[in-house]
Amino acid sequence: MKSSAAGGFRRSQHRFFALCVAPSLAVLALITLLPSLYLLATSFTPLNLTRPETQWDFSQPFVSYGQLVSDSRLHNSVWVQIKLSFWTVVLQLLIGLGLALLLNMRTRLLDALRTVFLIPMVLPPIVVAIIWKVIYTPDISPMHGIFRALGWNVPALITDPDWALTSIIIADTWEWFPFTMLMVLAGLQMMPQELLDAAKVDGATPWQLTRYITLPFIKGVLLVAGLFRLIDSIKAFPLIFILTDGGPGNLTEVTNYYSYLQAFNFSYLGFSSAITIALLAATIVLSWVIVRMVGWGAAVD
Amino acid sequence: MTRKARPRRGTRRDRIAMQALAVLLALLALSPFLWLLLMSFKTNAEIFRFPPRLLFDATLANYAALWTSEFRNSFANSLIVGVVSTTLSLVIGVPAAYALSRWTTRASGTITLWILASRMAPPIAFTIPYFLVYRHLELLDTLTGLIIIYLTFNLSLVIWMMRPFYDQLPRSLEEAAWIDGATMWQGFRRIILPLSGPGLAATAILCFLFAWNDFFFALILTRTEAMTAPVAVVNFMNYEGWEWGRIAAGGTMIMLPVLVFSFVVRRYLVHGLTGGALKG
């Protein structure tokens, strides 16, 4: 069937596929691409909502970017962000991995528990924030109740300079360890049994099995899970908004939160746009790394 | 095809010990969540009591107070916005997912990155331009405004979820229909769509949950009229003097539909969050 009829069919097929894709691409262009360009344009203006004349003022296009270099509060926020991202990603990977290894047996009880462990991740982020606000508020917190009963005098963690960031890290880790756990479990299920059997025949102990067979096999999964969590950690908002409001001082003020404050508390949308462009660039680079690692780009066959 | 891993078999005692440990850890992990749930049924006096009484007089007063307040409107807003943005995303996105699965173009790598980046972008990247434009279009504090911005993540999600789903449906299905003289559209409409049920249901639920869970967009783009439930609960914290019982009840009402739906789609959760980075 290499006649012109087949060619006509091919053409109509292409037309149909193009018609299917067009609305999505048009809408995505309108709602994501255009706003991104708008954001980029705004970042070249000193837009301040209290001074409307600044809206399309491109006379000094790099003034906001100059501020990126000179603003020490921003630099502090990047450092806070790095600490938050590092510790949450590491803790989530460790806890997720540990639990996945523990739960990787097929019994009815463990199947049920696997679902139970998902709860923190699926809760609305604002509910997670409320839960931890309760835990961290001494008057009503069961945790502080226990501390008091033990005779320990523990300050309110979210207002204590030494503990504020740690308390955010704990809450964030609680919210997202199920994600890494799920990814690792999915990875473990793809492990070929032959590999384990062969190692067992050679007399490997359970620890050696984990260390030399299982871990190398799920290395890729751990990396992808970590990258996803890393990108997400850049967006941390509800926990910080509800628990500490960036404080005490600027100790828990991550970059995303600082950008929000500049835009919607101080009305400096131009400067905030410049910060956000930097954040956006970081997420796009990380997404690109994921696309390359998972091999989606090479999906053309 | 490799054999799937059979679960490891330890000795009987090991297995019991591991399961006991797992139960213990689950209880520990869930205790903060259970505490909030209990709190929503407590009176104010009971909330401040420590050690807590195991058998307290449960009250529904917190829920009743919520239901007669503005919170009811916010709850309805959340429902409307979630349902409409989900429906729109499916109508626009499902044909695209199908076409991208069947049609291999050189641009597919770029489209993939674009869609992933849309899902991954920090919300503030969209919030600033939307806020500025909505001021002129008078879309601030409207449900329409929220529905449009929720499309930014939900449309990408639909394409993410449905494309791998269609990859798994054999092409021979619609090819048989074409040979019988069906048009492309008929092949999609009569053969492919009826087979998409489970994928569509899971995708719809996840879309709804993402819209329902949103806090940041609603916080910035709404004031009073279009306020959604998550923002309304937070307002109990700021302006009405820490009414813990009502905050807990509001939080519980927001999370209940989420828990029920998540349980239904738990198999698809990782997929929805990572866009099929892992085929498990």
| Interval B8-50: pLDDT, tens | 555 778 888 888 999 999 999 999 999 999 999 988 888 887 7
In this structure, the number of other CB atoms found within 10 A of the CB of residue B43 comes to 15
List chain A residues with CB under 8 Å of B125: 35-36, 39, 276-277, 279-280
Each residue of B219-229: pLDDT tens digit?
Answer: 999 998 999 99
> Which of A17, A103, A233 to mutate to test binding with chain B, by most B CBs within 10 Å of its CB?
A17
Q: Does A5 touch chain B (CB under 8 A)?
A: no
Greater confidence (B73 vs B184) lies with B73
- What is the pLDDT, as a whole number, of residue B239? 57
Residue B273: pLDDT band by 50, 70, 90 thresholds?
A: low
Residue B77 reports pLDDT greater than 90: yes
Alpha helix ranges (H) inside A104-214: 108-117, 119-122, 125-136, 142-149, 164-189, 193-201, 206-208
- pLDDT at residue A4, rounded to an integer: 63
The chain-wide mean pLDDT, for chain A, equals 88
According to the model, what pLDDT value does residue B140 have?
Answer: 94
Predicted confidence (pLDDT) at residue A295 exceeds the cutoff of 80: no
The confidence score (pLDDT) of residue B43 equals 85
Q: Are B228 and B207 in contact (CB under 8 A)?
A: no
Collapsed DSSP state (helix, strand, coil) of residue A48? strand
pLDDT above 60 for B254? yes
* CATH code of the region B69-274: 1.10.3720.10
Query: How far A36 CA lies from chain B's nearest CA (Å)?
Result: 7
Encode A74-107: b = buried (16+ Cβ within 10 Å), e = exposed.
bebbeebbebbbebbbebbbebbbebbbbbbbee
A56: contact with B, CB 8 A cutoff: no
Cα separation, B203 vs A124, in Å, equals 17
Q: Are B133 and A269 in contact (CB under 8 A)?
A: no
- B:244-273 residues touching chain A, CB 8 A cutoff: 244, 247-248, 251, 254-255, 258-259, 262-263, 266, 269-270, 273
Residue that wins the pLDDT comparison between A123 and B9:
A123
Q: Cβ A301–B98 below 8 Å, yes or no?
A: no
Categorize the per-residue pLDDT at B272 as very low, low, confident or very high, splitting at 50, 70 and 90.
Answer: low
**Closest residue in B to A205 (Cα–Cα):** B10
Position A298 pLDDT exceeds 60 = no
Give me A274's structure tokens: 């410049």
The model's confidence at residue B171, banded by pLDDT at 50, 70 and 90, is confident
With an 8 Å Cβ cutoff, are A224 and B95 in contact? no
Percent pLDDT > 90 in chain A is 47
Could you tell me if B198 lies within 8 Å of chain A, comparing CB atoms? no
Q: Cα distance from B248 to chain A (closest Cα, Å)?
A: 8
Chain B residues close to A174, C-beta within 8 Å: 29, 32
What does pLDDT average to over chain B?
85
- Residue B1 scores a pLDDT above 80: no
- CA–CA distance, B129 with A291 (Å, rounded to integer): 27
pLDDT tens per residue across span B233-251: 988 876 556 788 889 999 9
Q: Please report where in the chains the tokens 């400067």 appear, as a residue.
A: A271
> Does the pLDDT value for residue A2 go beyond 60?
no
| Contacts of B60-64 spanning 24+ positions with Cβ under 8 A | B61/B245, B62/B245, B62/B246, B62/B248, B62/B249, B63/B249, B63/B253
- Residue B41: the pLDDT is 92
Confidence category of residue A163, pLDDT binned at 50, 70, 90:
very high
- Chain A residues lying within 8 Å of B7, measured CB to CB: 104-106
Averaged pLDDT, B43-69: 83
Pick from B8, B96, B262: which is nearest to A24 by CB? B96
- Architecture in CATH of A43-294: Orthogonal Bundle (1.10)
Length of chain A: 301
| Lowest-pLDDT choice from A52-56, A256-260, B32-36, B245-249 | A52-56
pLDDT tens sequence across B124-140 = 999 999 999 999 999 99
Q: Is the predicted pLDDT of residue A55 greater than 50, yes or no? A: yes
Residues B63-83: what's their mean pLDDT?
92
Cβ-Cβ contacts under 8 Å for A31 (sequence gap 6 or more): B148, B149, B151, B152, B155
A156 and chain B in contact, CB less than 8 A: no
Instruction: Give pLDDT, residue B276.
Output: 57
DSSP state of B191: I
User: Which of A109-123, A164-178, B60-74, B157-171 shows the highest mean pLDDT?
Assistant: A164-178
User: Where exactly are the structural domains of chain A?
Assistant: 43-294
Please state which of the ranges A24-38, A277-291, B3-17, B39-53 shows the lowest mean pLDDT: B3-17
Average pLDDT (A63-82) is 93
pLDDT tens digits, one per residue of A169-202: 999 999 999 999 988 988 888 888 888 888 888 8
Q: How would residue B280 be classed by pLDDT, with cut points 50, 70 and 90? A: very low
Q: Which of B200, B184, B154 is nearest to A18 (CA)?
A: B184
Using a CB–CB cutoff of 8 Å, tell me whether A205 touches chain B. no
C-beta of residue A56 within 8 angstroms of C-beta of residue A294: no
* Predicted confidence (pLDDT) at residue A94 exceeds the cutoff of 50: yes
State pLDDT tens for residues A195-242: 888 888 888 888 888 888 888 888 888 988 898 899 889 988 999 999
Nearest-10 crossing angle of helices A269-294, A63-70: 80
Q: At residue B142, does pLDDT exceed 70?
A: yes
Q: A97 pLDDT exceeds 60?
A: yes
Set of chain B residues whose Cβ sits within 8 Å of the Cβ of A32 = 114, 118, 121, 126, 152
A66 sits in which H/E element: helix A63-70
Residue of B184 and A27 predicted with greater confidence: A27
Q: Domains of chain B: which residue ranges?
A: 69-274
Burial degree of A156 (CB within 10 A; 0-12, 13-18, 19+): middle
Beta-carbon separation of B129 and A186 below 8 A? no
What per-residue confidence (pLDDT) applies to B4? 47
Task: Say yes or no to pLDDT of B2 above 50.
Answer: no
Torsion of CA A208, A213, A217, A219, to 10 degrees: 30
| pLDDT for A300 beyond 50 | no
- For A295, the closest chain B residue by CA position comes to B277
Inter-chain CB proximity A291 and B112 less than 8 Å: yes
H-state helical runs in chain B:
12-39, 44-47, 61-67, 71-102, 108-120, 123-137, 143-168, 172-179, 184-186, 193-195, 197-213, 216-221, 229-238, 244-264, 269-274
Cβ–Cβ contact A296 with B under 8 A? yes
pLDDT at A78: 95
